[in-house]
Amino acid sequence: GIPATFFEITTALAFLHFANSNASVVVLETGLGGRLDATNVVKSPSISIITSIGLEHTRILGDTIELIALEKGGIIKEGRPVLVGPNAPHGVLRQCAQEKGASGYYTVEDILGVDEAMGEGDKLTLGTKVLHDYDKENARISKAALLILQQQQQNGETTNDDITFQRRHIGPVTEEQIEEGTSHRPPCRFEEIEVKKDNKSITVILDVAHNPQALEHLVSKLESSYSSKMKRFVVGFSSDKDLAVCGQLVLSSVPEPLNLHIVEASHPRAANLESIIDAEPRLRESNFDQADRSITAQVEYALELAAEKDELLVVCGSVFLMAEAREALGYNEPRDSDCISEVAGSNLKHGQENFGTSDNEKAAMKAASKASSILSK
């Protein structure tokens, strides 16, 4: 048969972990697209959620928003509801939901009504472009999803496999619990921390904004939240992004290229320094070190300058930067096992390489096979 990819193996291992932990509720995020994603083995989810759709992974998913929406719409399931955020082609996705026999197609406004604050107070601008705050937009999507699920529970609805909603889910969730839960943020999503350097306190923003659309929102939110503060960036990108546009966006947020520190993550999908600089020649005037390309070196140097000049330090551009950056800022980060490190990044050309030859890899394959058998029951 076709060998499993790294992502497929780790997805299966995640399911095994959920099963062994007797998880009451699991929130699954697709890896790429949806229709052919490994997470799509779940045939009867409580709800499918499509937050937003932008032009990303166009080589695989399609070169228009509409084509990408069809791929993302692959997670919509017969007899189950779908919730779609505001930044998506609703016409395409409504048609997709109808063809798949979804039990309902909902927008956030259908559930929560129009948020007047989101209409005015939470607008961000970038030049003449008006943007919404992703952070608050995602909180509203989460709240709407919980309310849909709560209504299903009250109605005693069943899924396609005739397992009642009550048996598959935890008890009622109060309004206060929903507000509390949706107010929390995962690490590196406009995460604001204070770091001490030379007896000075430096505000550092960690954000995994990694493509032009996300960087637009980050730059706008930085301007909105810290308009009077000079910024300094530590940035690196994945090789499959529009490096020129990404470089232009971070340059637009600083007075000169010297306020940027360019790094190269130790990951096979990371763009190297040469590619980033070639894509936006102004970055030749930024800070980088071809002899020491480590994230740690530039984070430490950027901290020194930010402390000296009373600047805001921003680390962004790729999720691949964050573990090393957080360690450089004093966090004790968890590390992958030797097996995962061997497969995911060490001396491999791609992060989705097939594997299954070493003893460690065979052990992982055996565990994944066990997980697959649990899923098929």
Q: Give the residues across from 130 on adjacent strands.
A: 125
What are 168-217's pLDDT values in tens digits?
Answer: 555 677 888 888 888 888 888 899 999 988 889 999 999 999 888 889 98
What SS3 state is found at 52?
strand
Number of neighbours of residue 80 by Cβ within 10 angstroms: 23
Local confidence band at 235 (pLDDT 50, 70, 90 cut-offs): very high
State the sign of the Cα–Cα–Cα–Cα dihedral 54, 56, 58, 61.
Answer: negative
The whole-model pTM stands at 0.73
> What kind and span of H or E run contains 140?
helix 134-155
Q: What is the pLDDT of residues 244-290, one digit of tens each?
A: 999 999 999 999 999 999 999 888 889 999 999 999 999 999 999 98
| 217 contact partners, CB below 8 Å, separation of at least 6 | 124, 131, 133, 134, 209
How does pLDDT run across 156-171, given as a tens digit for each residue?
A: 665 545 444 444 555 6
User: d(Cα 82, Cα 80) in Å, to the nearest integer?
Assistant: 7
The predicted pLDDT at position 91 comes to 94
